Structure 1
Amino acid sequence: MATEFEIKKAKAKHRQYLDLIDKGINPSTYKFSEKVKLTSDRTFKEVVLEWHDKKQKTGIYKDNKVLGRLNNYLFPKIGKLPAKKIEPPMLFNIMENIQEEGLIETSNRAITVLLWYFVTV
Structure 2
Amino acid sequence: MSVLFVLVVAGCVDRDLPVATDVDATRGAALFDASCADCHGADGRGGVGPDLTMLSADAGGTFPRDAVMAQIDGLGRHGDSDAVMPEFGAGDMGATVIVEHDGLGTPVPADLLALTTYLETIQR
- Normalised TM-score (structure 1): 0.30
Flag the structure with larger Rg.
1
Bigger strand fraction: 2
Q: Which one has the bigger helix percentage?
A: 1
The TM-score with structure 2 as length reference comes to 0.30
